[in-house]
Structure 1
């Protein structure tokens, strides 16, 4: 889920502090890394448009780390070697968001956005987490209708009822129980971190560096907690709140904050003179216009052939709003839907991946259900949804509603990992001030949990994903300097 998280005195730090940088005292990995425990069978990676230097391999890992001699699964990973062997420092793991996503191809795409001095210093390592993609995969065989974005995100009924959400949770959880196999019970953040350490060992690296984005920040923080002396330079970008009592349940709740932080930016854009997708004359008009249109579509959906579902209803509009706030480049998608629906029409149906891809992505996101036990009582969700709808009408109760985890048939196999300030100080957090999926409020919780181990760079930008994405030049320079040289700001700073 995909796509998915603090706000006080840390913002007051001056950007001038960026000039006060200190080197980290972590040991440098040998340019000629020791061989792994067994030779890796590097082959050409599957797919198109990949860098010809990228090669793929697999490593065998225990399905259940509590039973290391039991059933094994494979985890697929890829590598583009450091471009200057004389300057090589080690391996930079690209940790994907999700859960339900991979980075196997990222050395060829996202990795190539890294500045030359970083690509010179590191092998770029991508991977598909257990259960996903070219690693041993899982699938639950969900119904086609349950793969709709407005269904996988738990939007309540127009009247606020959660009855259908609870039924959907039961139906999807039952499908995972029937079709997911034993592996789906062992998809968790802690196990993904353990798998990463198996990849590290297979590569023969004593330590790893990492760039984790979104959910990847939680994976990176958990790895840093479980294997603190295996970490070199860790960048956590667009940070989740690591509260071990809530985990993904808390991340969902933070969409209230994220939408409120970001919708005003859309409203300003959508009311600018000269904007061909302008929806209102002033920014103040955009919110009430959106809320009126969503309520009208709740009552009178518009047929939308080829879409899933095949109608434009209020929740489909709300989900489009949520998706579009991830990146300002996507604002036109929401604006054009608002303009079309206002005329009683619809744009062409959105293109979506094949159901088989969606099946694997959603099923492999089961870590959100295995990390912690979610409330199972409909009354808990009814109360939360009612409170949320009253206070945050844009998100209509979604952030406190029931996902399939509310009916998950298995209990967590271990407690969620608690992120602490114990261990080497090797972490740089980078965070946009306005991020719909991982809001600043949640990022400040990650900063608090890591304590002296981390320094945080808050970027005055909008969108999900800061470094080399929706951030700014100041933030990008700070992260690149850290990866290339080990220098971090002396204390938390703001990049305006």
Structure 2
């Protein structure tokens, strides 16, 4: 989903002025995450310490579409247990932003947001959503975005340094030869070892199950009897986990871009490879159909394949002032991957690729760095660290090097652009040395209706995942958009109207409602 960039820089500055929050480390005493336990009583839940941060955020959003809205911003922080096995033990600090529109009527309470990832910042996302969500929703809800444990400004996981992230970003994106796969496996082990050395078993504290428990404490601290929630992508995993653990506390959950709850890691990786291939074909058809002509010619797939080969043998310099990096195949590939998430980025991608072939990789770096969380000064957000920690805490599946090599050989033929990278990614958690808390099966028996939104042309969370999520949830309701790109709300009027009515008035859309791409 699209939110204003560089909000993390603002939030970091705010945090430095508000609190001495530090990264979580092994010394905080984390143990393996807890199994299911009872909902905390209000006496057990820490209050949220709110601070006015309106002027700082107003300065940041000034001039952006939606900034004319009469909005006020508060920044907050609260503590949660490192492990729910020891609720009175060591704590982690969560950071959040609350947005209130002036003139609210018939207020329902708070609408909690998670933008996905895992590792995406809810603090960043909620400011962007405050500028873009329908006014009808903001008139009924305080909008609350929080960085989940380990993410952004909430006791962030930080164990992969900038040099290692730079090497990872530049590495071969389609490893197919034995030597390329050896290098990929070695880089994966280097990252895993760095995080194990920094945190040890404490890495197990960053599971989705633990974050879902944090969300219920936030619900109570916000004063809401039940939870209203908007979750995108990985946020659908978090939201459905919450509904499984606390079904009686669900008021309304919108799960947009559902991650398939039934798929194995291998099935998910192959599904993404297939879906990104289809998304690239949609991008190519759109580009070649332009009246002004496609900047990358009549064969976009052939163009990208040729550009990747060019960048492998002669990395491409950038015209950006002060930029010393040269774009490798890894950067070019990541630029393509990033732009396929949103159709609005397709023209930018075509121009960036054309410029790169002509010898200027500035546009490629813009897309790739945004995807990787790299800032202009060469530092990074912690989205990569958090993504690894959360994904690996959530699964006990492991794949051997031999299994990965066999899948690479198969998928690189069936999915020429995205197969090898998807297959090699399966090795990531196989060498992750930390306790695991696999995701529970999720039917959320006893929950209020939950709306699951799926986009037929979604490359990151393929549409079958939304179908499975809606079927698995006892009270799941499927809403389909026949469009392209990752997630649907509030991109299209049909989906927007259905979701708005559900959030504000609990009017549940007809199960199976299909919204046309137009």
Scaled to the shorter chain, the TM-score interval is 0.7 to 0.9
Quick one: which of 61, 84, 87 aligns to 1:65?
Answer: 84
* Backbone CA RMSD of aligned residues: 3.0
Residues 29-78 of structure 1: CA deviation (Å, up to 9, x unaligned): xxxxx999565431023655268621122221110112222211111222
Give 1:52-451 correspondences, 5 Å limit.
53-81=72-100, 83-84=102-103, 86-147=105-166, 150=169, 155-157=173-175, 159=177, 161-180=180-199, 183-243=202-262, 245-246=264-265, 250-275=267-292, 277-281=294-298, 285-303=299-317, 310-343=325-358, 345-347=360-362, 350-351=365-366, 352=369, 353-354=374-375, 358=380, 360-365=382-387, 366-402=389-425, 404-412=428-436, 414-420=437-443, 422-450=445-473
Structure 1 residues 119 and 385 mapped into 2: Cα distance closer, same or farther (>3 Å)? same
Match of 1:406, SS state, is helix
Runs (4+) of structure 1 exceeding 4 A deviation are 34-39, 82-86, 303-309
Match of 1:280, SS state, is coil
Match of 1:99, SS state, is coil
Whole-Å separation in 2 of the counterparts to 1:253 and 1:396:
7
Q: In 1, are the aligned partners of 2:275 and 2:460 still within 8 Å (CA)?
A: yes
| CA-CA distance at 1:331 after TM superposition | 1.4
Where structure 1 has 5 or more consecutive residues not aligned to the other structure, the ranges are: 4-33
Residues 307-328 of structure 1: CA deviation (Å, up to 9, x unaligned): 9993333333222211111111
Q: How many residues align structurally?
A: 456
Where structure 2 has 5 or more consecutive residues not aligned to the other structure, the ranges are: 4-41, 62-69
Whole-Å separation in 2 of the counterparts to 1:168 and 1:308:
25
Q: In 2, are the aligned partners of 1:55 and 1:80 still within 8 Å (CA)?
A: yes
Q: In 1, are the aligned partners of 2:229 and 2:252 still within 8 Å (CA)?
A: yes
Match of 2:78, SS state, is strand
Quick one: which of 39, 49, 69 aligns to 1:41?
Answer: 49
Whole-Å separation in 1 of the counterparts to 2:167 and 2:486:
22
TM-score (norm 1): 0.83
Whole-Å separation in 1 of the counterparts to 2:447 and 2:101:
25
Residues 195-218 of structure 1: CA deviation (Å, up to 9, x unaligned): 111111111211011010111111
Quick one: which of 509, 515, 518 aligns to 1:489?
Answer: 509
Q: In 1, are the aligned partners of 2:158 and 2:385 still within 8 Å (CA)?
A: yes
> What does residue 468 of structure 1 align with?
490
> What does residue 477 of structure 2 align with?
455
Range with bigger deviation, 134-143 or 123-132:
134-143
Whole-Å separation in 1 of the counterparts to 2:186 and 2:512:
46
| CA-CA distance at 1:95 after TM superposition | 1.4
Residues 341-389 of structure 1: CA deviation (Å, up to 9, x unaligned): 4445544662443378625222122110111134252111111111110
Range with bigger deviation, 116-125 or 303-312:
303-312
Q: In 1, are the aligned partners of 2:331 and 2:364 still within 8 Å (CA)?
A: no
Structure 1 residues 302 and 158 mapped into 2: Cα distance closer, same or farther (>3 Å)? farther
Match of 1:201, SS state, is helix
Q: In 2, are the aligned partners of 1:145 and 1:151 still within 8 Å (CA)?
A: no
Structure 1 residues 341 and 147 mapped into 2: Cα distance closer, same or farther (>3 Å)? closer
Structure 1 residues 421 and 79 mapped into 2: Cα distance closer, same or farther (>3 Å)? closer
Whole-Å separation in 2 of the counterparts to 1:369 and 1:409:
9
Q: In 2, are the aligned partners of 1:35 and 1:204 still within 8 Å (CA)?
A: no
Say if 2:500 is the partner of 1:480. Answer: yes
Structure 1 residues 286 and 81 mapped into 2: Cα distance closer, same or farther (>3 Å)? closer
Q: In 1, are the aligned partners of 2:72 and 2:101 still within 8 Å (CA)?
A: no
Whole-Å separation in 2 of the counterparts to 1:159 and 1:333:
32
Whole-Å separation in 2 of the counterparts to 1:437 and 1:263:
12
Structure 1 residues 436 and 149 mapped into 2: Cα distance closer, same or farther (>3 Å)? farther
Structure 1 residues 80 and 337 mapped into 2: Cα distance closer, same or farther (>3 Å)? closer
